[in-house]
Structure formats: C-alpha cells, structure tokens
Structure 1
Amino acid sequence: MVSRPELIEFQGEWTTHYFRDNWENIQNFKARPDDVLIVTYPKSGSTWVSYMLDLLYYGQSTPQSPRTGRLHERVTVFEMCFPGPQPESGGPPPVYRGTEQLDNLVTSPRLIRTHLPVRFLPKSFWEQNCRIIYVARNAKDSVVSYFHFDRMSLVQPEPGDWNSYLHRFMEGKMVHGSWYDHVSSWWEKKTTYSNLHFMFYEDLVEDTGREIDKLCSFLGLSPSVEEMEGLKGTVEFDSMKQDMVVNQVGFPWMDTKISSFMRKGKVGDWKNHFTVAQNEEFEEDYKKKMKNPTLKFPNEPVSGCK
C-alpha cells in the first residue's frame, strides 16, 4: 500500500521524497537535441498537452496499429520516483523512476513531462537547446484542481480542509513550490530562451484547434486537415475522461472513489469553492506577488483573477 508522504523543504523548495529520492540522476539527466519537454505547475494542463503531442507525433490507435501502454509511460514525468503495486509473488514492490523509463524509450523524439521550477531543470536541456512548452493556468482554478487531486492522490501529502489548503497555496507550501514563483520564472525565461513556447490553459479551452496550430508551428509539424479534425475530437475533455489510457484509472496510488483524475477541465470552477472573504484575501495576496505587468492571463483583469 502506498503511504502518503510528508511535505519537506529541499534546497529552498517544498516537495516530497517521491520527487527527490532520485535527485542525482535527475540533475545528471542527459537530454537529447530532439527531446520535447512539457512543463507545468501541477494541474495546469500537462496531461492534455502531453496527449496532444503524443497523437501529433505518433498517431492515433487503430485496430491495425494499436497504441500500447498508458500515457504516462509514453510521456513520462521524469522527476517521479514512485513505488508500484505489490507483486503477487511477494517481495518489495518495484520502483518507477522517470529517468529510467526515459532512458529505455525507443521512440524519438522523446516526449517528457516535468513540474520542476525553472531553476531545477537539468542543464542538459538548455545545453541541447531542447524545445520546451510551458502551460500556465490561472491561480484560482489551479488551486481548486490541485486540492481535488491531492484528495485522491496517495503520493501527495494529506490536503486537509479547503480553507487551510488555500492558505498553504498562498504561502507556496505546496509540492513543487509556489505557483507564483513557478509561473513567473518560466514566463521570464522565455525572454532569454527562444525555444520556449508559452501557452495558457484558458486559450486551450477557448479554441483548442487554434492552439494546436500554434503548437505545430513551434514544433515544425504539418498534420493534414483530416488528422487535425480527428485530433481535436480525440482531445476533447469528455473523450479523454472516458479514455483509461489517459485518465489514470486503476493506478495503485490514486483513489478514484474520491475524485476522478480528470475532473472538470473548466475555466472558472473556482467560483464554486471560494467564499467572498477567501476571494478578497486571495486577490490582495495575488497583487503583492504577481508584479510582472506583462504576465496577464486571457480574459482576466491585470490581477489575473476575476
């Protein structure tokens, strides 16, 4: 049985041992020039964009050419180091290390996911000039989605009640650190690193096809009209939610009786969770921490929150 970890501080960042047990191999990871890296703060669209890229590069499953394995096995979170299910024959459970999974991938390019802050990204990604896609989601919807994920994910610390969780988010005491620092530092990085494509979750929801076109332009891909139409239908939220390959059904470290891994995928769900007082407090805190006037979320005021 997977046990919930404690939140720990590591090199000035909050995390858990599941993301630091393999730290030396993470920092020494050897990127390849054709690697494509998807970066997000947790619960900001990494699964969605990973699935898009998986389909764009390797096509949809057909009876003649079925896709094998789950999405996380094809687009791996490379800093993960999680225990697997207990073997029926007894003995210790296997440990899944993202770095090992990527080293064993035979496909090229490798599609790689990470939630690491920009300062922790292994230097080989910069040295190899890898293409990097960053997806940002507004703070309020991010914290709501993260809360429900932490309720059902057994490799995350106990979330506690909603009000205390919201305050912990505002303090940056979350696995993978502060949302504010994460989004801001990656936004600033794009001014000095030209191979970084910055996307907004809200834009993806508003016009998925348009954002896929931008992705293809960045990646140098030219799918046919028919392929694009098929792709847009496949990556609709309701379709992905019914797809066990994408929706993480049956994972030993996720309790889907509490919540689905893919829950709503909506913009503005925070309105169903924030009280008036919580919203006012959050707004004031946001204004203090988000000082870059160039970072504005789509269809939002300057503060980034409605």
Structure 2
Amino acid sequence: MTEEKELSYKEAIEKAGSAITRFPVIKIQDVPLMSHIAYNWDSIWAFRPDPSDLLIATYPKAGLDLLKKMDPPRLIKTHLPFKLVPPAFWENKCKAIYVARNAKDNLVSYYYFDLMNKTQPEPGPFAGYIHKFMTGELSWGSWYDHVKGYWMEREKKNILYLFYEDMKENPRREVERIMRYLDLSLSDEVISQIVELTSFKNMKDNPMANYSCIPSPVFDQSISPFMRKGEVGDWKNHFSPEQTKIFDEDYEKQMKDVNIPFRSLI
C-alpha cells in the first residue's frame, strides 16, 4: 500500500482539514465508498464483534479502526449497506437496530450534508443530485438497496427496523420498543429522560451530537448545520412538481418488490 492508503480516518480528516480535500469514491462490491474506507476494507470486513455489541445502521461514516481498542459491549454505528456489514456480526448473533427515513427527506438532508462536509464528493446542483440519488451514485450507494437490504433480512437476523417518522411522531413509544428489543427494564423517569435528551432540539445544542468540534474546513456549518431541521416533509420545499413526478415514478419501479411502510412521500 502507498502512504496515502495507510492513513487512518483521523489522519485523513486532519489532512483534509488543512488541504480541504474531498475524498474520491471507490466501489466495493459495486457500492461507492470514500477512499479511506475502501483502502482499509480488508480489516473492516474481517472485524470480529463481541456478541454483546449493538450495531446501529442507517443510510448515510464507518470507523471500525478504533473499536479494536474498546471493551465490549460497544455501540457501533455504520452506514454500510447490509451486504457490506462484516459477517461476524451475524455469526455472533449481535443485535442490530436499523433506522430508515423516507426517500425524499433523506435525499434533501444528505444533499445539505454533502454541501457542508468538505470530505464528501462534490454534490453539484440539487437537480443533478436527485439523479445521483435515484441511480445510487452517492457515497454509501443506493438508498433503495440500503433500506431493502436490511428490511428483507430483519427477521432472519433479528434486526429491529425503525422509521425516522415514527420516532418523530411518538419518541417515547419507539424508545420503549428499543428497550424491549434489548431486554432492558427502565423506569418511566429514565425513559422520559432519554426522550428529552434525544430530542432534536437538545441534540442540535449538544456538542457531542452536533459535530461543532469538527473544524470548519472539514464541516462548514456556515453552509448548513450538521443538525439542520429534522423535519418530516421538508422535501416539499425543495422538489419542483416535475422533479416530484419523475422521482415518484422511479420510486415505484425501484420499490415494487417490497412493501416497506414509508410515510410522507406525497
């Protein structure tokens, strides 16, 4: 490997902070991943979790290099599609929670993230970004393959499949679902505290969640804050009627083989 290929994620971020470098994407099993992830793919694929580890997966940053130094049980977050999750997670019967968001809101949120994240590929104009989203040309690949992959494996792999819109509508109900899935027993007071602390407003003001510690040459939050709006249906402020029509027709074709109960698409 070249010296560039041996950079850790932390080193790559620091390098990007000084050089403002947008990482190129490299395909792993036809999924576009940022180069610093692709260059370390062998070690990521070989990662052996502890059975007590909990995997949290969403469609768009995987950083498994630090996990080897942490003691289990660990909370491991990934944006990898199902087919790229290291198989040891399923071999060790780790629990996994997947959070899905409706396609249009996810697209808009990802677009603003790519605008402010100077390590991600250049997003270009919004109209072109819609096309990239529809064809799976963005980092982490196709949203359609991502949400369908975890959905179709949720029963065989004991994956708790949650929806962003449900969490916004009734966060306490979803926290209780997670509690039961993890075989935990929490008091009403603790559940209420969890709901309060994980509200969008509190997380937006929390340096541990809003990424305000990331230097501005990397995350330029003057363009868009990391925690932007968190609203359901914000896509309506961005899609033109023609774009909506084209997107909806394509959505029907790509999702015809599954019946995932997404909301707020119309």
* TM-score, normalised by the number of residues in structure 2: 0.89
Contact 1:137 1:200 in 2 (8 A): yes
Distance 1:120 1:293 in 2: 20
Paired amino acid for 2:202: S
What does the per-residue CA deviation read over 1:40-98, in whole Å, with 9 as the maximum and x for residues that have no partner? 101xxxxxxxxxxxxxxxxxxxxxxxxxxxxxxxxxx5x3xxxxxxxxxxxxxxxxxx2
Return 5+ residue gaps in structure 1 as ranges. 43-76, 80-97
Paired amino acid for 1:115: H
2:204 is aligned, of 233, 241, 247, to 241
Contact 2:99 2:163 in 1 (8 A): yes
The match for 1:122 is: 86
1:39 aligns with 2:57: yes
Contact 2:26 2:32 in 1 (8 A): yes
Q: What does residue range 42-53 of structure 1 map to in structure 2 within 5 Å?
A: 42=60
1:156 aligns with 2:120: yes
The match for 2:12 is: none
Contact 1:136 1:200 in 2 (8 A): yes
What does the per-residue CA deviation read over 1:170-215, in whole Å, with 9 as the maximum and x for residues that have no partner? 111010100011111110011322x210000010000000000000
Q: What does residue range 219-298 of structure 1 map to in structure 2 within 5 Å?
A: 219-252=182-215, 253-298=218-263
Distance 1:267 1:205 in 2: 8
* Aligned sequence identity (%): 43
Q: What does residue range 11-160 of structure 1 map to in structure 2 within 5 Å?
A: 11-42=29-60, 79=62, 98-106=63-71, 108-160=72-124
Instruction: Report the Cα offset of residue 18 of structure 1.
Output: 2.5
1:200 aligns with 2:218: no
Distance 1:292 1:40 in 2: 21
- Following TM superposition, the consecutive aligned residue runs of length 4 or more in structure 1 with deviations greater than 4 angstroms are none
Instruction: Report the Cα offset of residue 7 of structure 1.
Output: 3.2
**Which SS does the other structure have where 1:160 is aligned?**
coil
Instruction: Report the Cα offset of residue 293 of structure 1.
Output: 4.3
What does the per-residue CA deviation read over 1:236-273, in whole Å, with 9 as the maximum and x for residues that have no partner? 11111011111000313211111100001110000000
Distance 2:25 2:40 in 1: 17
Paired amino acid for 1:166: I
The match for 1:191 is: 155
Distance 1:191 1:100 in 2: 29
Distance 1:100 1:172, change over 3 A: closer
Distance 1:263 1:144 in 2: 10
Of structures 1 and 2, the one with the larger relative CO (CA 8 A, separation 6+) is 1
**Which SS does the other structure have where 2:209 is aligned?**
coil
What does the per-residue CA deviation read over 1:87-134, in whole Å, with 9 as the maximum and x for residues that have no partner? xxxxxxxxxxx223111123x310000111111111110110000101
Paired amino acid for 1:173: E
* TM-score, normalised by the number of residues in structure 1: 0.78
Contact 1:18 1:155 in 2 (8 A): no
1:6 aligns with 2:24: yes
Distance 2:203 2:138 in 1: 27
Distance 1:243 1:185 in 2: 32
Distance 1:255 1:27, change over 3 A: same
Q: Decide which structure has greater helix share.
A: 2
What does the per-residue CA deviation read over 1:11-56, in whole Å, with 9 as the maximum and x for residues that have no partner? 21122202212111101101110000001101xxxxxxxxxxxxxx
Contact 1:248 1:261 in 2 (8 A): yes
- Number of aligned positions between the proteins: 246
Contact 1:150 1:158 in 2 (8 A): yes
Instruction: Report the Cα offset of residue 9 of structure 1.
Output: 2.8
Distance 1:293 1:33 in 2: 30
Return 5+ residue gaps in structure 2 as ranges. 1-17
